[in-house]
Amino acid sequence: MKTRIDSLDDVIASFAGQGYICDQRTALAVYLAAQLHKPVLVEGPPGVGKTELAKAASAFLEAPLIRLQCYEGLDESRALYEWKYGKQLLYTQLLRDKLSGMLADTDSLEHSMQRLGDLGDAFYSETFLEPRPLLRALRADEPVVLLIDEIDKADQEFEAFLLELLSDFQISIPEMGTVKARHQPLVFLTSNDQRELSDALKRRCLHLYIPYPDAALERRILAERVPELGDQLRDQLVAFIQHLREQDMKKLPAISETLDWARALVLLHADTLEPELVEQTLALVLKNEQDVALARDLLPHWFRKPRSA
Amino acid sequence: MADRRLHEFVRALRGAGVRVSPTEAEEAFRAAALIGYYPRDQFRETLALTLVKSQQERPDFDDCFESFFHFESAEDDDAEDDDAADQDAEGEPLSPQEGQGLSEQAAELVAQDAGQLEQTLARNAGEMDFTDMQVITQQGLYARRLLMNMGMGAVDDEILRLDASPRGGDQRRAGELREWRQQVRELAVRHVRRQFNLHGRAHGRALREETMRAAPFRDLREFKQVQTLVRCMARRLASLHQRRQKKAKRGTLDARRTLASSLRYNAVPVQLHWRQKRRLKSKVVVICDVSSSVRDAARFLLQFLYAMTDVLPRVRSFAFAARFDEVTDDFDRYSPDVAVGRILDRVSGSGTDYGTMFEEFVALCGSEIDRHTTVIILGDARNNDLPAGEQHLAEVSRRAKQVFWLNPEPPSRWNSGDAIMARYQPYCRAARRCASLNDLSRFTDYLLKSV
């Protein structure tokens, strides 16, 4: 990992170099997180680039990205570590003769127990430990970027379990004691606001809200990501998407949808936005039947307006 | 200095209702030290990143930031103007000849230049406790106390003495002193007002919330923040019950599944399986009277229930006044204000008829009511002397898990005039009064425990 970040502009420049265009606030969050060693909780509507932010940060810091996808019912054994039960059993089976041989000359139960005790934690050692993302992040040889994606989908218990990791970068494992991070990872948590996160979790994080981009930012993103798109078409497309976002829709189009649409238009060799073309490709932008119907009703009006203006 | 300002800002934020813990405040100081105070936008975002933990609090933060840092600069300017004025007033006539006229303490105070005076004020203010200030009218009292602590009493005495003196020069001097005193008092008042804005606001907010919770629904429109409060109360309730539901889910050992999976591991029960309680599939059906007398209560009830989607995923709602109609979609799709307006357009009119309403309700969705369904009826049971039709409610009650009746009127009036609660009450598991947000929140709590 890069140990020194010179300035805020450094972050912005690197992000821009990777094609991740963001506003100053987002760069500020990454900068502060790295300097203060605090996790960042990223919230915002789906598709505005929350996960992308973690990837961009990982590339910027030249640190590997470890990702933990949250879902309902996620527990410690999936997130932190698990014992390789099968392997443990197999070994005890294979070593049965050896064990009984070893215990053959013991005369009492206590003696045998002691002999077994001398073996140490043979069956609960590294060999049988299956590290999951969180443990991997803590024990990595170099600092990493840890992305805990969609934390709002996990249960409340899991959130509480994360608190120790987020504030002290350590985790307690009953059989092994406390595992401290070798290098403090940079942690990103993302949330779609499906449920309210606990105050305890929020208190430990910097809070970044990424809204839908405004027209200027969206144009810059499009120019960067889909350079083949003509200037005129880009302006039209952004204006149209921004117009859609002002509507009362079930699922508003996010930046990822804009990009999909732009790529499709490039493939179709479109030069300008025409009503028929929009109608045919609307399904790329809107993912809900009612929204599509609503947008279709809007189309004639929208195409009249710019021409008269 | 900068740290103290930030501390004050954090206190002001708390007063504005943003929760900030000491660790977060410290984090903000570190971040601010790292980023610097300029440019202003960047400084604001830095504080926002560290202090604001949800998007709902952001507007409060922005307001507070604007007024706090704006106030600071404006105040500094003012103070400078005042200092200039002070010097004009006091500097020339007071300094050369003060020695003879004034008592020692008064002379010391009067001789201070603007900067020293401000320091004296700040020092004395620092020794006072302003956190008890609760209402705006206390400002005069606190300003007076502050002036007394600064030793203004001696100056007062001096003015009285000079007034009584027959010499013309003394009279003139008394006038000058009075003017000077007035200016210092303005400084003190301004300082006290700032303290009030920092501390008094929090008290005021708590008081206002208290009032809103207990006020009858009809009067709630006068409060601006009522929407925020309702959302906040609903969220708190929802998260409380979310946890409770999760807890209830943990069960006992599922021996069958554990044995079955142990076969993989040579009959060693490596993986334990737990019997999970089946998730409750509770449905809630709300029927609201939206005639003019009950409309406000209906609005808040529906708003509350729809804020509970995390814990109550399936709510169907119906409204009736002159007509009866399902309104589930309106509340799903529009904000409460808009939804209520739309609903009223559809069903409003005079003459509520509970009997016919129940009949229509049974005909419309009687078959959907099962033993997981909770039916809530909100209304004053004023039936305009029409047939009660309680047999239909009895039918609903027989099929449903439970029926609750909420009445915005006090129990003493439940059967007065054309109200016929007594006819319906036998078929309800409970009938409660519901006239304020407090009642509503208590009922919702009770409901979530029983669904």
Burial B269-300 (b: 16+ CB within 10 A, else e): ebeebeeeeeeeebbbbbbbbbbeebbbbbbb
Give pLDDT tens digits for B257-282. Answer: 888 888 887 777 777 777 765 555 67
Locate A151 and state its tokens: 């934390």
Yes or no: say if A161 and A170 are a contact pair by the CB < 8 Å rule: no
The pLDDT assigned to B167 comes to 79
Cβ-Cβ pairs closer than 8 A, A with B, add up to 66
What average pLDDT does the segment B341-360 reach? Answer: 82
Q: For A28, name the nearest residue in chain B, comparing CA atoms only.
A: B46
Tell me the longest C-alpha to C-alpha distance in chain A. Answer: 102
Q: What is the number of domains present in chain B?
A: 2
**Angle formed at CA B54 by CA A50 and CA B198, multiple of 5 degrees:** 145
How close is the nearest chain B Cα to the Cα of A41, in Å? Answer: 9
Q: Which residues of chain B have a CB within 8 Å of the CB of A78? A: none
Burial class (CB in 10 A: 0-12, 13-18, 19+), B90: buried
How close is the nearest chain B Cα to the Cα of A208, in Å? Answer: 6
Residue B303 burial (CB count, 10 A): 20
Residue-averaged pLDDT of chain A: 86
- Decide if B246 and A157 are in contact by the 8 Å CB cutoff: yes
State the Cα–Cα distance between residues B146 and B130, nearest whole angstrom. 10
Backbone angles phi, psi at A147, to 5 degrees: -110, 115
Q: Which residues of chain A have a CB within 8 Å of the CB of B266? A: 89, 93
Give pLDDT tens digits for B156-198. Answer: 888 888 888 777 788 888 888 888 888 888 888 887 887 777 6
Residue B362 within any structural domain of the chain: yes
- Residue B340 is inside which H or E element, if any? helix B336-347
Do residue B157 and residue B283 come from a single domain? no
Residue B439 within any structural domain of the chain: yes
Residue with more model confidence, A65 or B97: A65
Give pLDDT tens digits for A32-67. Answer: 998 888 999 999 888 888 999 999 999 988 899 999
Residue B429 within any structural domain of the chain: yes
A294 at the B interface (CB within 8 A)? no
Per the document, the length of chain B is: 451
pTM, whole model, 2 decimals?
A: 0.66
Least confident of A155-159, B56-60, B220-224: B220-224
Q: For B46, name the nearest residue in chain A, comparing CA atoms only.
A: A28
How close is the nearest chain A Cα to the Cα of B317, in Å? Answer: 20
How close is the nearest chain A Cα to the Cα of B200, in Å? Answer: 25
Tell me the longest C-alpha to C-alpha distance in chain B. Answer: 115
- Decide if A32 and B49 are in contact by the 8 Å CB cutoff: yes
State the Cα–Cα distance between residues A202 and B378, nearest whole angstrom. 38
3-state class (DSSP) for residue A192: coil
Q: Which residues of chain B have a CB within 8 Å of the CB of A43? A: 55
A32 at the B interface (CB within 8 A)? yes
- Decide if B55 and A43 are in contact by the 8 Å CB cutoff: yes
Q: Which of B19, B21, B45 to mutate to test the interface with A (most CBs of A within 10 A)?
A: B45
CATH code of B435's domain: 3.40.50.410
Q: Which residues of chain A have a CB within 8 Å of the CB of B235? A: 196
Closest CA to B8 of B69, B89, B75: B69
Least confident of A19-23, A234-238, B44-48, B292-296: B292-296
Residue B235 within any structural domain of the chain: no
Of A86, A207, A248, the CB nearest to B52: A207
- Decide if A29 and B42 are in contact by the 8 Å CB cutoff: no
Do residue B306 and residue B199 come from a single domain? no
Q: For B232, name the nearest residue in chain A, comparing CA atoms only.
A: A196
Yes or no: say if B63 and A216 are a contact pair by the CB < 8 Å rule: no
What average pLDDT does the segment A107-124 reach? Answer: 77
Of 3.20.20.10, 3.40.50.2020, 3.40.50.300, 3.40.50.970, the CATH number of A8-78+132-209 is 3.40.50.300
Measured CA to CA in angstroms, residue B170 lies from B92, B93, B97, B165, B174 at distances of 16, 12, 11, 6, 6
The pLDDT assigned to A186 comes to 92
Asked if pLDDT for residue B75 goes beyond 60, the answer is: no
A43 at the B interface (CB within 8 A)? yes
Containing domain of residue B205, as a range? 54-211
How close is the nearest chain A Cα to the Cα of B283, in Å? Answer: 20
The pLDDT assigned to B351 comes to 75
- Residue A216 is inside which H or E element, if any? helix A215-225
Q: Which of B211, B245, B269 is the last residue of a domain?
A: B211
Asked if pLDDT for residue B364 goes beyond 80, the answer is: yes
Give pLDDT tens digits for B425-443. Answer: 999 999 999 888 888 888 8
Residue B330 within any structural domain of the chain: yes
- Decide if A36 and B49 are in contact by the 8 Å CB cutoff: no
Percent of the residues in chain B that have a pLDDT greater than 90, as a whole number: 9
Backbone angles phi, psi at A227, to 5 degrees: -65, -20
- Decide if A32 and B23 are in contact by the 8 Å CB cutoff: no
Percent of the residues in chain A that have a pLDDT greater than 90, as a whole number: 22
Q: Which residues of chain B have a CB within 8 Å of the CB of A35? A: 34
Residue B258 within any structural domain of the chain: no
State the Cα–Cα distance between residues B365 and B385, nearest whole angstrom. 26
State the Cα–Cα distance between residues A205 and B18, nearest whole angstrom. 16
Percent of the residues in chain B that have a pLDDT greater than 70, as a whole number: 84
What average pLDDT does the segment B7-15 reach? Answer: 82
Residue with more model confidence, B304 or A64: A64
Residue B242: pLDDT band (50, 70, 90) is low
State the Cα–Cα distance between residues A200 and A188, nearest whole angstrom. 16
Asked if pLDDT for residue A176 goes beyond 90, the answer is: no
Sequence-distant (≥ 6) Cβ neighbours of residue A286 within 8 angstroms: A244, A249, A251, A253, A257, A292, A295
The pLDDT assigned to B101 comes to 55
Measured CA to CA in angstroms, residue B92 lies from A85, B89, B336 at distances of 93, 7, 66
Interface residues of chain B, partner chain A, Cβ below 8 Å: 19, 21, 23-24, 27, 30-31, 34-35, 41-42, 45-46, 48-50, 52-55, 58, 235, 238-239, 242-243, 246, 265-266, 268, 270-271, 310, 333
Chain-centroid distance of CA B74 in Å reads 29
State the Cα–Cα distance between residues A266 and A287, nearest whole angstrom. 21
Residue B95 within any structural domain of the chain: yes
- Residue A147 is inside which H or E element, if any? strand A145-149
Residue B111 within any structural domain of the chain: yes
- Decide if A28 and B46 are in contact by the 8 Å CB cutoff: yes
- Decide if B270 and A195 are in contact by the 8 Å CB cutoff: no
